[in-house]
Structure 1
Amino acid sequence: MTSESILLIGRDTRNAREVLGTHADRLDRRAVVDDVEVVTYESEPTRELRGALERISADTVYAVPMCVAPTHDTIHGVPAALSSVPGDVRYCEPLGRSPAVTDVIAERGTELVPASDDASLVLVGTGSSSKPYYRRTADYHAARLREQSGYGEVLTCYLLQNPAVECVRYNVTKGRSVAVPLFLTRTEATEGRIPDELELARGGIEYADPFGEHPRITDAVHAEVERQRILTLDATPSATPFEARLSPTRRPAPTDGEGVQR
Protein backbone atom coordinates (compact mmCIF):
# COMPACT_ATOMS: atom_id res chain seq x y z
CA MET A 1 0.00 0.00 0.00
CA THR A 2 1.36 3.42 -0.98
CA SER A 3 2.09 5.77 1.92
CA GLU A 4 1.71 9.56 1.77
CA SER A 5 3.20 12.38 3.80
CA ILE A 6 2.82 16.14 3.99
CA LEU A 7 6.04 18.07 4.52
CA LEU A 8 5.71 21.67 5.74
CA ILE A 9 8.85 23.67 4.92
CA GLY A 10 9.61 27.11 6.31
CA ARG A 11 12.27 29.60 7.29
CA ASP A 12 13.25 29.36 10.95
CA THR A 13 11.83 32.74 11.94
CA ARG A 14 10.85 33.85 15.45
CA ASN A 15 7.85 31.56 15.92
CA ALA A 16 7.98 29.41 12.80
CA ARG A 17 8.35 26.06 14.54
CA GLU A 18 5.35 26.68 16.78
CA VAL A 19 3.18 27.92 13.91
CA LEU A 20 4.10 25.12 11.52
CA GLY A 21 3.75 22.59 14.32
CA THR A 22 0.19 23.72 15.01
CA HIS A 23 -0.79 23.36 11.36
CA ALA A 24 0.91 19.95 11.22
CA ASP A 25 -1.03 18.75 14.28
CA ARG A 26 -4.34 19.83 12.75
CA LEU A 27 -3.58 18.10 9.45
CA ASP A 28 -2.51 14.98 11.31
CA ARG A 29 -5.83 14.91 13.20
CA ARG A 30 -7.69 15.24 9.90
CA ALA A 31 -5.92 12.09 8.64
CA VAL A 32 -5.25 13.82 5.33
CA VAL A 33 -2.20 11.59 4.81
CA ASP A 34 -0.32 8.96 6.80
CA ASP A 35 2.14 11.41 8.33
CA VAL A 36 2.80 15.16 8.58
CA GLU A 37 6.31 16.49 9.15
CA VAL A 38 7.84 19.93 9.67
CA VAL A 39 11.31 21.12 8.67
CA THR A 40 12.79 24.60 9.02
CA TYR A 41 16.04 26.15 7.88
CA GLU A 42 17.89 29.38 8.61
CA SER A 43 19.52 30.28 5.30
CA GLU A 44 20.66 27.28 3.20
CA PRO A 45 17.88 24.71 2.71
CA THR A 46 19.99 22.31 0.63
CA ARG A 47 22.69 21.94 3.28
CA GLU A 48 20.55 22.30 6.39
CA LEU A 49 17.68 19.99 5.40
CA ARG A 50 19.53 17.15 3.70
CA GLY A 51 19.67 14.82 6.71
CA ALA A 52 16.02 15.29 7.70
CA LEU A 53 14.78 14.87 4.14
CA GLU A 54 16.79 11.69 3.57
CA ARG A 55 14.97 10.09 6.52
CA ILE A 56 11.46 10.60 5.11
CA SER A 57 10.09 7.15 4.32
CA ALA A 58 6.75 7.90 2.62
CA ASP A 59 6.27 6.83 -0.99
CA THR A 60 4.66 10.15 -1.94
CA VAL A 61 5.54 13.44 -0.25
CA TYR A 62 3.50 16.63 -0.67
CA ALA A 63 6.04 19.35 0.05
CA VAL A 64 4.39 22.67 0.96
CA PRO A 65 6.51 25.85 1.20
CA MET A 66 4.97 27.71 4.11
CA CYS A 67 5.17 31.23 2.78
CA VAL A 68 2.88 33.71 1.10
CA ALA A 69 4.53 34.05 -2.32
CA PRO A 70 7.37 32.44 -4.28
CA THR A 71 10.83 33.50 -3.15
CA HIS A 72 14.38 32.79 -4.25
CA ASP A 73 14.40 29.90 -1.76
CA THR A 74 11.18 28.29 -3.01
CA ILE A 75 12.32 28.54 -6.63
CA HIS A 76 15.94 27.45 -6.16
CA GLY A 77 17.07 26.21 -2.74
CA VAL A 78 14.05 24.24 -1.57
CA PRO A 79 13.54 22.28 -4.83
CA ALA A 80 17.23 21.39 -4.80
CA ALA A 81 16.94 20.23 -1.19
CA LEU A 82 13.93 18.08 -2.04
CA SER A 83 16.09 15.99 -4.35
CA SER A 84 17.26 14.30 -1.12
CA VAL A 85 13.79 12.86 -0.47
CA PRO A 86 13.79 9.13 -1.36
CA GLY A 87 10.12 9.07 -2.38
CA ASP A 88 8.11 10.78 -5.10
CA VAL A 89 7.82 14.51 -4.35
CA ARG A 90 4.78 16.59 -5.25
CA TYR A 91 5.96 20.16 -4.82
CA CYS A 92 3.07 22.44 -3.90
CA GLU A 93 2.74 26.15 -4.44
CA PRO A 94 3.02 28.76 -1.67
CA LEU A 95 -0.24 29.49 0.10
CA GLY A 96 -0.66 33.16 -0.76
CA ARG A 97 -3.13 32.85 -3.61
CA SER A 98 -5.56 30.70 -1.63
CA PRO A 99 -9.03 32.23 -1.09
CA ALA A 100 -8.68 31.10 2.53
CA VAL A 101 -5.90 33.65 2.96
CA THR A 102 -8.33 36.42 1.96
CA ASP A 103 -10.50 35.34 4.88
CA VAL A 104 -7.53 35.55 7.26
CA ILE A 105 -6.61 39.05 6.07
CA ALA A 106 -10.19 40.25 6.51
CA GLU A 107 -10.41 38.77 10.00
CA ARG A 108 -7.05 40.18 11.09
CA GLY A 109 -8.16 43.61 9.92
CA THR A 110 -11.66 43.64 11.41
CA GLU A 111 -10.35 42.49 14.80
CA LEU A 112 -8.74 45.94 15.13
CA VAL A 113 -10.73 48.23 12.82
CA PRO A 114 -14.21 46.99 11.83
CA ALA A 115 -14.95 47.35 8.13
CA SER A 116 -16.86 50.49 7.20
CA ASP A 117 -16.92 53.19 4.53
CA ASP A 118 -14.67 55.45 6.60
CA ALA A 119 -11.99 52.77 7.23
CA SER A 120 -8.95 51.75 5.17
CA LEU A 121 -7.43 48.27 4.97
CA VAL A 122 -3.75 48.17 4.01
CA LEU A 123 -1.99 44.98 2.84
CA VAL A 124 1.75 45.03 3.56
CA GLY A 125 4.00 42.75 1.52
CA THR A 126 7.70 42.37 0.87
CA GLY A 127 9.30 41.50 -2.45
CA SER A 128 11.50 43.09 -5.06
CA SER A 129 10.42 45.29 -7.93
CA SER A 130 12.24 42.86 -10.25
CA LYS A 131 10.05 39.95 -9.09
CA PRO A 132 6.25 40.16 -9.52
CA TYR A 133 5.27 37.38 -7.09
CA TYR A 134 4.39 39.41 -4.01
CA ARG A 135 2.70 42.11 -6.05
CA ARG A 136 0.50 39.55 -7.80
CA THR A 137 -0.41 37.96 -4.47
CA ALA A 138 -1.21 41.28 -2.79
CA ASP A 139 -3.19 42.51 -5.80
CA TYR A 140 -5.20 39.27 -5.85
CA HIS A 141 -6.33 39.66 -2.25
CA ALA A 142 -6.83 43.41 -2.53
CA ALA A 143 -9.20 42.91 -5.48
CA ARG A 144 -11.20 40.27 -3.60
CA LEU A 145 -11.39 42.41 -0.46
CA ARG A 146 -12.59 45.44 -2.41
CA GLU A 147 -15.48 43.30 -3.63
CA GLN A 148 -16.20 41.32 -0.49
CA SER A 149 -15.32 43.50 2.49
CA GLY A 150 -16.97 46.65 3.74
CA TYR A 151 -13.81 48.77 3.84
CA GLY A 152 -13.97 52.14 2.14
CA GLU A 153 -10.61 51.50 0.49
CA VAL A 154 -8.12 48.65 0.25
CA LEU A 155 -4.52 49.57 -0.49
CA THR A 156 -1.30 47.60 -1.02
CA CYS A 157 2.27 48.52 -0.11
CA TYR A 158 5.66 46.80 0.04
CA LEU A 159 8.96 46.87 1.88
CA LEU A 160 11.13 46.63 -1.23
CA GLN A 161 9.09 48.18 -4.01
CA ASN A 162 6.59 50.95 -4.64
CA PRO A 163 4.14 51.87 -3.27
CA ALA A 164 6.39 51.82 -0.21
CA VAL A 165 5.28 51.08 3.35
CA GLU A 166 6.65 54.42 4.53
CA CYS A 167 4.21 56.25 2.24
CA VAL A 168 1.03 54.55 3.52
CA ARG A 169 0.26 57.20 6.12
CA TYR A 170 0.05 59.78 3.33
CA ASN A 171 -1.84 57.57 0.87
CA VAL A 172 -4.82 56.52 3.00
CA THR A 173 -7.84 58.79 2.67
CA LYS A 174 -10.12 57.37 5.37
CA GLY A 175 -10.33 58.36 9.00
CA ARG A 176 -9.32 54.95 10.42
CA SER A 177 -6.77 52.48 9.05
CA VAL A 178 -5.47 49.00 9.77
CA ALA A 179 -2.40 47.41 8.20
CA VAL A 180 -2.17 43.62 7.81
CA PRO A 181 1.29 42.12 7.11
CA LEU A 182 1.20 39.42 4.43
CA PHE A 183 3.46 37.12 6.41
CA LEU A 184 2.82 33.69 7.87
CA THR A 185 5.09 34.01 10.92
CA ARG A 186 6.69 36.72 13.00
CA THR A 187 9.95 38.00 11.50
CA GLU A 188 12.35 40.88 11.94
CA ALA A 189 10.31 42.70 9.29
CA THR A 190 6.94 42.22 11.00
CA GLU A 191 8.31 43.03 14.47
CA GLY A 192 10.62 45.90 13.59
CA ARG A 193 10.87 47.29 10.12
CA ILE A 194 7.19 47.45 9.15
CA PRO A 195 6.05 49.08 12.44
CA ASP A 196 8.91 51.58 12.16
CA GLU A 197 8.10 52.53 8.58
CA LEU A 198 4.39 52.80 9.37
CA GLU A 199 5.34 55.13 12.24
CA LEU A 200 2.88 53.40 14.51
CA ALA A 201 3.93 55.54 17.46
CA ARG A 202 2.22 58.50 15.80
CA GLY A 203 -1.14 56.75 16.08
CA GLY A 204 -3.89 56.59 13.49
CA ILE A 205 -2.91 53.20 12.05
CA GLU A 206 -3.61 49.89 13.77
CA TYR A 207 -1.27 47.00 13.03
CA ALA A 208 -2.43 43.37 12.84
CA ASP A 209 -0.61 40.13 13.58
CA PRO A 210 0.78 37.84 10.83
CA PHE A 211 -1.41 34.90 9.75
CA GLY A 212 0.22 32.58 12.27
CA GLU A 213 -1.80 29.62 13.52
CA HIS A 214 -5.12 30.72 12.03
CA PRO A 215 -7.23 27.61 11.16
CA ARG A 216 -7.92 28.90 7.65
CA ILE A 217 -4.20 28.60 6.89
CA THR A 218 -4.49 24.91 7.76
CA ASP A 219 -7.42 24.77 5.33
CA ALA A 220 -5.24 26.39 2.66
CA VAL A 221 -2.55 23.71 3.09
CA HIS A 222 -5.16 20.96 2.95
CA ALA A 223 -6.71 22.42 -0.21
CA GLU A 224 -3.32 22.72 -1.94
CA VAL A 225 -2.49 19.08 -1.20
CA GLU A 226 -5.85 17.97 -2.61
CA ARG A 227 -5.24 20.14 -5.68
CA GLN A 228 -1.89 18.46 -6.26
CA ARG A 229 -3.55 15.06 -6.02
CA ILE A 230 -5.96 16.06 -8.77
CA LEU A 231 -3.22 17.58 -10.93
CA THR A 232 -1.23 14.36 -10.65
CA LEU A 233 -4.01 12.63 -12.57
CA ASP A 234 -3.59 15.17 -15.39
CA ALA A 235 0.06 14.94 -16.40
CA THR A 236 -0.07 17.48 -19.26
CA PRO A 237 2.50 20.29 -18.84
CA SER A 238 -0.20 23.00 -18.89
CA ALA A 239 -1.92 21.35 -15.93
CA THR A 240 1.20 21.41 -13.76
CA PRO A 241 1.89 24.66 -11.88
CA PHE A 242 5.27 26.36 -12.14
CA GLU A 243 6.46 25.53 -8.63
CA ALA A 244 5.40 21.90 -8.91
CA ARG A 245 7.64 21.47 -11.96
CA LEU A 246 10.74 22.63 -10.07
CA SER A 247 11.35 19.74 -7.70
CA PRO A 248 12.13 17.04 -10.31
CA THR A 249 14.48 19.36 -12.23
CA ARG A 250 16.44 21.14 -9.51
CA ARG A 251 19.57 19.55 -8.13
CA PRO A 252 22.02 20.91 -5.56
CA ALA A 253 24.82 22.97 -7.04
CA PRO A 254 28.42 22.16 -6.04
CA THR A 255 29.45 24.39 -3.13
CA ASP A 256 32.49 25.01 -0.98
CA GLY A 257 30.86 23.31 2.00
CA GLU A 258 29.54 26.56 3.40
CA GLY A 259 26.81 26.98 0.83
CA VAL A 260 28.76 29.22 -1.51
CA GLN A 261 28.32 28.05 -5.10
CA ARG A 262 31.51 27.07 -6.91
Structure 2
Amino acid sequence: MTSEAILLIARETRNARAVLEEHADRLRRRAAVDAVEVATYESEPVRELRERFERIAADVVYAVPVCAAHTHETIDAVPAALSYVSGDVRYCEPIGRSPVVTEVIEERGADLLPAAEDVSLVLVGFGSSSKPYHRQTTDYHASRLREGSEYGEVLTCYLLQNPAVECVRYNATGSRSVAVPLFFSRTEATEERIPAELELDRGGIEYADPLGAHPRITDAIHAEVEKQRALAGEGSSTGASFEAQLARTKRPVATDGEGVPR
Protein backbone atom coordinates (compact mmCIF):
# COMPACT_ATOMS: atom_id res chain seq x y z
CA MET A 1 0.00 0.00 0.00
CA THR A 2 1.32 3.44 -0.95
CA SER A 3 2.12 5.64 2.05
CA GLU A 4 1.52 9.39 1.87
CA ALA A 5 2.80 12.36 3.87
CA ILE A 6 2.15 16.09 3.89
CA LEU A 7 5.18 18.33 4.38
CA LEU A 8 4.53 21.92 5.47
CA ILE A 9 7.43 24.26 4.69
CA ALA A 10 7.98 27.88 5.74
CA ARG A 11 10.72 30.35 6.50
CA GLU A 12 11.51 30.51 10.22
CA THR A 13 9.93 33.57 11.84
CA ARG A 14 8.81 34.54 15.32
CA ASN A 15 6.00 31.97 15.46
CA ALA A 16 6.19 30.10 12.15
CA ARG A 17 6.82 26.68 13.70
CA ALA A 18 3.94 27.07 16.15
CA VAL A 19 1.61 28.05 13.29
CA LEU A 20 2.71 25.10 11.15
CA GLU A 21 2.35 22.68 14.06
CA GLU A 22 -1.23 23.80 14.65
CA HIS A 23 -2.09 23.23 10.99
CA ALA A 24 -0.26 19.90 11.12
CA ASP A 25 -2.30 18.75 14.13
CA ARG A 26 -5.55 19.49 12.29
CA LEU A 27 -4.33 17.81 9.12
CA ARG A 28 -3.38 14.66 11.02
CA ARG A 29 -7.01 14.38 12.12
CA ARG A 30 -8.60 15.02 8.74
CA ALA A 31 -6.29 14.56 5.76
CA ALA A 32 -6.13 10.74 5.52
CA VAL A 33 -2.36 10.59 5.16
CA ASP A 34 0.18 8.55 7.09
CA ALA A 35 2.18 11.50 8.41
CA VAL A 36 2.28 15.28 8.50
CA GLU A 37 5.74 16.85 8.79
CA VAL A 38 6.79 20.42 9.54
CA ALA A 39 9.99 22.06 8.30
CA THR A 40 11.24 25.62 8.73
CA TYR A 41 14.45 27.22 7.55
CA GLU A 42 16.23 30.48 8.30
CA SER A 43 18.13 31.22 5.11
CA GLU A 44 19.53 28.10 3.39
CA PRO A 45 16.87 25.44 2.77
CA VAL A 46 19.25 22.89 1.24
CA ARG A 47 21.81 23.04 4.03
CA GLU A 48 19.24 23.28 6.82
CA LEU A 49 16.65 20.77 5.60
CA ARG A 50 18.63 18.11 3.72
CA GLU A 51 19.02 15.67 6.60
CA ARG A 52 15.43 16.19 7.72
CA PHE A 53 14.13 15.48 4.22
CA GLU A 54 16.30 12.37 3.87
CA ARG A 55 14.48 10.87 6.87
CA ILE A 56 11.00 11.19 5.36
CA ALA A 57 9.96 7.66 4.53
CA ALA A 58 6.62 8.08 2.71
CA ASP A 59 6.17 6.90 -0.87
CA VAL A 60 4.37 10.12 -1.85
CA VAL A 61 5.07 13.49 -0.24
CA TYR A 62 2.86 16.54 -0.77
CA ALA A 63 5.19 19.49 -0.09
CA VAL A 64 3.20 22.66 0.66
CA PRO A 65 4.89 26.09 0.94
CA VAL A 66 2.90 27.90 3.62
CA CYS A 67 3.40 31.40 2.30
CA ALA A 68 1.50 34.06 0.39
CA ALA A 69 3.27 33.56 -2.94
CA HIS A 70 6.39 32.17 -4.53
CA THR A 71 9.70 33.69 -3.46
CA HIS A 72 13.27 33.13 -4.60
CA GLU A 73 13.54 30.33 -2.03
CA THR A 74 10.36 28.51 -3.06
CA ILE A 75 11.32 28.68 -6.72
CA ASP A 76 14.94 27.65 -6.31
CA ALA A 77 16.30 26.48 -2.94
CA VAL A 78 13.23 24.72 -1.53
CA PRO A 79 12.65 22.46 -4.57
CA ALA A 80 16.40 21.78 -4.62
CA ALA A 81 16.18 20.67 -0.99
CA LEU A 82 13.19 18.47 -1.84
CA SER A 83 15.45 16.45 -4.14
CA TYR A 84 16.68 14.74 -0.96
CA VAL A 85 13.24 13.26 -0.30
CA SER A 86 13.33 9.64 -1.40
CA GLY A 87 9.64 9.39 -2.30
CA ASP A 88 7.59 10.90 -5.11
CA VAL A 89 7.45 14.63 -4.32
CA ARG A 90 4.36 16.51 -5.39
CA TYR A 91 5.30 20.13 -4.93
CA CYS A 92 2.23 22.24 -4.28
CA GLU A 93 1.39 25.84 -5.10
CA PRO A 94 1.82 28.32 -2.22
CA ILE A 95 -1.51 28.56 -0.41
CA GLY A 96 -1.75 32.35 -0.54
CA ARG A 97 -3.76 32.30 -3.77
CA SER A 98 -6.53 30.10 -2.30
CA PRO A 99 -10.03 31.64 -2.38
CA VAL A 100 -10.30 30.64 1.27
CA VAL A 101 -7.62 33.22 2.09
CA THR A 102 -9.97 35.96 0.87
CA GLU A 103 -12.46 34.87 3.53
CA VAL A 104 -9.81 34.96 6.25
CA ILE A 105 -8.66 38.44 5.19
CA GLU A 106 -12.23 39.70 5.36
CA GLU A 107 -12.76 38.10 8.76
CA ARG A 108 -9.53 39.53 10.15
CA GLY A 109 -10.60 43.00 9.02
CA ALA A 110 -14.18 42.66 10.28
CA ASP A 111 -12.96 41.59 13.72
CA LEU A 112 -11.64 45.15 14.11
CA LEU A 113 -13.86 47.23 11.80
CA PRO A 114 -17.01 45.73 10.29
CA ALA A 115 -17.38 46.43 6.59
CA ALA A 116 -19.12 49.72 5.82
CA GLU A 117 -19.15 52.34 3.09
CA ASP A 118 -16.88 54.68 5.07
CA VAL A 119 -14.30 52.00 5.91
CA SER A 120 -11.21 51.30 3.79
CA LEU A 121 -9.78 47.79 3.84
CA VAL A 122 -6.03 47.70 3.21
CA LEU A 123 -4.17 44.55 2.14
CA VAL A 124 -0.49 44.72 3.07
CA GLY A 125 1.77 42.45 1.02
CA PHE A 126 5.51 41.87 1.14
CA GLY A 127 6.05 42.54 -2.54
CA SER A 128 9.12 42.02 -4.68
CA SER A 129 11.34 44.25 -6.77
CA SER A 130 11.77 41.56 -9.43
CA LYS A 131 9.01 38.91 -9.31
CA PRO A 132 5.26 39.42 -9.85
CA TYR A 133 3.88 36.72 -7.59
CA HIS A 134 3.16 38.74 -4.45
CA ARG A 135 1.47 41.51 -6.41
CA GLN A 136 -0.61 39.00 -8.37
CA THR A 137 -1.76 37.30 -5.18
CA THR A 138 -2.57 40.54 -3.36
CA ASP A 139 -4.41 41.94 -6.38
CA TYR A 140 -6.40 38.70 -6.68
CA HIS A 141 -7.74 39.00 -3.14
CA ALA A 142 -8.32 42.74 -3.47
CA SER A 143 -10.41 42.19 -6.61
CA ARG A 144 -12.51 39.51 -4.91
CA LEU A 145 -13.06 41.71 -1.87
CA ARG A 146 -14.09 44.69 -3.99
CA GLU A 147 -16.72 42.50 -5.62
CA GLY A 148 -17.87 40.55 -2.59
CA SER A 149 -17.49 42.71 0.51
CA GLU A 150 -19.22 45.82 1.82
CA TYR A 151 -16.06 47.87 2.33
CA GLY A 152 -16.15 51.29 0.70
CA GLU A 153 -12.77 50.64 -0.90
CA VAL A 154 -10.09 47.98 -0.90
CA LEU A 155 -6.50 49.12 -1.29
CA THR A 156 -3.22 47.26 -1.68
CA CYS A 157 0.27 48.25 -0.53
CA TYR A 158 3.67 46.60 -0.22
CA LEU A 159 6.91 46.72 1.71
CA LEU A 160 9.13 46.25 -1.35
CA GLN A 161 7.26 47.90 -4.20
CA ASN A 162 4.70 50.57 -4.96
CA PRO A 163 2.18 51.49 -3.76
CA ALA A 164 4.28 51.59 -0.61
CA VAL A 165 2.94 50.92 2.87
CA GLU A 166 3.87 54.39 4.10
CA CYS A 167 1.64 55.98 1.44
CA VAL A 168 -1.58 54.13 2.22
CA ARG A 169 -2.65 56.49 5.00
CA TYR A 170 -2.77 59.26 2.43
CA ASN A 171 -4.31 57.15 -0.34
CA ALA A 172 -7.26 55.89 1.69
CA THR A 173 -10.43 57.93 1.28
CA GLY A 174 -12.53 56.26 3.98
CA SER A 175 -12.91 57.95 7.35
CA ARG A 176 -11.64 54.75 8.99
CA SER A 177 -9.26 52.06 7.79
CA VAL A 178 -8.27 48.55 8.75
CA ALA A 179 -5.06 46.98 7.47
CA VAL A 180 -4.62 43.21 7.13
CA PRO A 181 -1.09 41.82 6.57
CA LEU A 182 -1.01 39.09 3.93
CA PHE A 183 1.43 37.02 5.98
CA PHE A 184 1.03 33.60 7.59
CA SER A 185 3.07 34.15 10.74
CA ARG A 186 4.43 36.95 12.87
CA THR A 187 7.65 38.43 11.52
CA GLU A 188 9.82 41.45 12.03
CA ALA A 189 7.87 42.99 9.17
CA THR A 190 4.42 42.41 10.69
CA GLU A 191 5.50 43.35 14.22
CA GLU A 192 7.72 46.37 13.55
CA ARG A 193 8.12 47.57 9.98
CA ILE A 194 4.49 47.61 8.89
CA PRO A 195 3.16 49.26 12.09
CA ALA A 196 5.90 51.89 11.84
CA GLU A 197 5.22 52.63 8.17
CA LEU A 198 1.47 52.77 8.76
CA GLU A 199 2.14 55.21 11.63
CA LEU A 200 -0.32 53.35 13.81
CA ASP A 201 0.48 55.59 16.77
CA ARG A 202 -1.32 58.43 14.94
CA GLY A 203 -4.61 56.54 15.12
CA GLY A 204 -7.22 56.12 12.40
CA ILE A 205 -5.94 52.75 11.17
CA GLU A 206 -6.72 49.46 12.87
CA TYR A 207 -4.17 46.70 12.32
CA ALA A 208 -5.11 43.03 12.16
CA ASP A 209 -3.15 39.92 13.05
CA PRO A 210 -1.46 37.83 10.34
CA LEU A 211 -3.52 34.98 8.88
CA GLY A 212 -1.63 32.52 11.03
CA ALA A 213 -3.23 29.36 12.37
CA HIS A 214 -6.79 30.23 11.37
CA PRO A 215 -8.74 26.97 10.77
CA ARG A 216 -9.70 28.07 7.26
CA ILE A 217 -6.00 28.23 6.35
CA THR A 218 -5.82 24.56 7.28
CA ASP A 219 -8.72 24.07 4.87
CA ALA A 220 -6.69 25.81 2.15
CA ILE A 221 -3.71 23.51 2.74
CA HIS A 222 -5.93 20.43 2.70
CA ALA A 223 -7.62 21.59 -0.51
CA GLU A 224 -4.27 22.06 -2.24
CA VAL A 225 -3.21 18.54 -1.26
CA GLU A 226 -6.50 17.11 -2.54
CA LYS A 227 -6.07 19.04 -5.80
CA GLN A 228 -2.61 17.55 -6.32
CA ARG A 229 -3.90 14.08 -5.46
CA ALA A 230 -6.71 14.43 -8.00
CA LEU A 231 -4.38 15.74 -10.71
CA ALA A 232 -2.00 12.85 -10.15
CA GLY A 233 -4.91 10.48 -10.57
CA GLU A 234 -5.70 12.03 -13.94
CA GLY A 235 -2.28 11.17 -15.31
CA SER A 236 0.12 13.73 -16.73
CA SER A 237 -1.58 16.94 -15.55
CA THR A 238 0.73 17.52 -12.58
CA GLY A 239 3.79 17.22 -14.78
CA ALA A 240 2.76 20.34 -16.65
CA SER A 241 2.43 22.56 -13.56
CA PHE A 242 5.00 25.19 -12.65
CA GLU A 243 5.63 23.56 -9.26
CA ALA A 244 6.04 20.08 -10.77
CA GLN A 245 8.65 21.44 -13.17
CA LEU A 246 10.52 23.00 -10.24
CA ALA A 247 10.50 19.76 -8.25
CA ARG A 248 11.75 17.83 -11.25
CA THR A 249 14.53 20.17 -12.37
CA LYS A 250 15.92 22.03 -9.34
CA ARG A 251 18.93 20.37 -7.70
CA PRO A 252 21.65 21.47 -5.26
CA VAL A 253 24.83 22.69 -6.91
CA ALA A 254 28.22 21.23 -6.10
CA THR A 255 29.86 24.65 -5.76
CA ASP A 256 28.08 25.39 -2.48
CA GLY A 257 29.46 22.28 -0.83
CA GLU A 258 26.10 20.51 -0.79
CA GLY A 259 27.10 17.61 -3.00
CA VAL A 260 26.24 16.49 -6.49
CA PRO A 261 22.61 16.32 -7.69
CA ARG A 262 21.04 12.88 -7.50
Structure 1 length as normaliser, TM-score? 0.96
Once structures 1 and 2 are overlaid, which stretch shifts more, 218-227 or 243-252?
A: 243-252
> What's the counterpart of residue 134 of structure 2?
134
Within-5 A mapping of 1:161-172: 161-172=161-172
User: Is the contact made by 2:180 and 2:207 (CA closer than 8 Å) also made in structure 1?
Assistant: yes
Within-5 A mapping of 1:132-211: 132-211=132-211
The structural deviation recorded for 1:129 is: 3.3
The structural deviation recorded for 1:245 is: 1.9
Q: Distance in 2 between matches of 1:256 and 1:223?
A: 36
- Return 5+ residue gaps in structure 2 as ranges: none
Within-5 A mapping of 1:8-23: 8-23=8-23
Within-5 A mapping of 1:221-260: 221-236=221-236, 240-257=240-257
The structural deviation recorded for 1:130 is: 2.1
- Return 5+ residue gaps in structure 1 as ranges: none
The structural deviation recorded for 1:255 is: 3.5
Q: Distance in 2 between matches of 1:257 and 1:14?
A: 29
Structure 2 length as normaliser, TM-score? 0.96
- CA offsets 1:192-236 (integer angstroms, 9 cap, x no match): 111110000100000000001100000000000000011113344
CA RMSD of aligned residues (A): 1.5
User: Is the contact made by 2:239 and 2:245 (CA closer than 8 Å) also made in structure 1?
Assistant: no
Q: Distance in 1 between matches of 2:256 and 2:213?
A: 38
Q: Distance in 1 between matches of 2:52 and 2:145?
A: 39
Q: Distance in 2 between matches of 1:113 and 1:142?
A: 17
Q: Distance in 1 between matches of 2:61 and 2:236?
A: 20
- CA offsets 1:125-184 (integer angstroms, 9 cap, x no match): 012132110110001000100111110000000001110000000000000100000000
Structure that is richer in helix per residue: 2
Within-5 A mapping of 1:71-86: 71-86=71-86
How many residue pairs align between the two structures? 259
The structural deviation recorded for 1:243 is: 1.7
For 2:254, what is the secondary structure of its paired residue?
Answer: coil
2:113 is equivalent to residue 113 of structure 1? yes
For 1:247, what is the secondary structure of its paired residue?
Answer: helix
For 1:248, what is the secondary structure of its paired residue?
Answer: helix
The structural deviation recorded for 1:41 is: 0.7
Q: Distance in 1 between matches of 2:35 and 2:177?
A: 42
For 1:219, what is the secondary structure of its paired residue?
Answer: helix
For 2:95, what is the secondary structure of its paired residue?
Answer: coil
Once structures 1 and 2 are overlaid, which stretch shifts more, 55-64 or 242-251?
A: 242-251
